[in-house]
Amino acid sequence: MSLTTSAPIVEYASSCELPTPWATFELHAFLEPHTGKEHLALTLGEIGNGAPVLSRLHSECLTGDTLFSQRCDCGAQLEGALRKIAQEGRGILLYLRQEGRGIGLINKIRAYKLQENGADTVEANHELGFADDLRSYAICLPMLEHFGIQSLQLMTNNPRKIDALKNLGIDAERIELITKSNNFNARYLATKASKLGHLFPKT
């Protein structure tokens, strides 16, 4: 079954090496023409040979990935996924510019303020007039096609990602990606489980 689309949602732009503490990845840039957003893929090893690929679809979280925020688990998940891919010697991480589950950075900061006043992460989105989750994973299809990938071992606690990929014709098996909770993100993680369907081990 071909995954080719007549009008790609994202277009390949360029690649380079990216040395990290865990491995030297290949960094690939993609452009989403109708929004101007720039998405990334980090790859390691031979990933286009038809075998399932260890993978992560990671939505941008500036506060967690870059500023080390403890209010979420995003930075820890990003690091954990890259570590696991490096240990495997083969894999792909798609870094998607969908900040704040799609509401954008400024609205995420507004949502944080509402959370400080008692709302949980879902309630804060609703108070701002947004749905629980505005992300689209359709942008992953042309990115994965570029590398000849049709089957994933996806590191995620979010079953919606698995369903979205399967709806695109991509076979995906879920691999859990658990990080440690802390005093700042415990309610956030509990809300993801109770209201967004994320799967975490029983404690």
Residues designated catalytic:
133, 135
Closest of 167, 170, 132 to residue 55, by C-alpha: 170
- Size of the chain, expressed as the number of residues it contains: 203
Closest of 75, 86, 81, 77 to residue 24, by C-alpha: 86
Does residue 90 contact residue 23 with C-beta atoms inside 8 Å?
no
Task: Report d(CA 180, CA 96) in Å as an integer.
Answer: 23
Closest of 135, 133, 39, 136 to residue 93, by C-alpha: 39
In sign, the C-alpha dihedral spanning 101, 104, 107, 108 is positive
Other Cβ atoms less than 10 A from the Cβ of 87: the count is 12
DSSP code string of 164-199: HHHHTT-EEEEE-------TTTHHHHHHHHHHH---
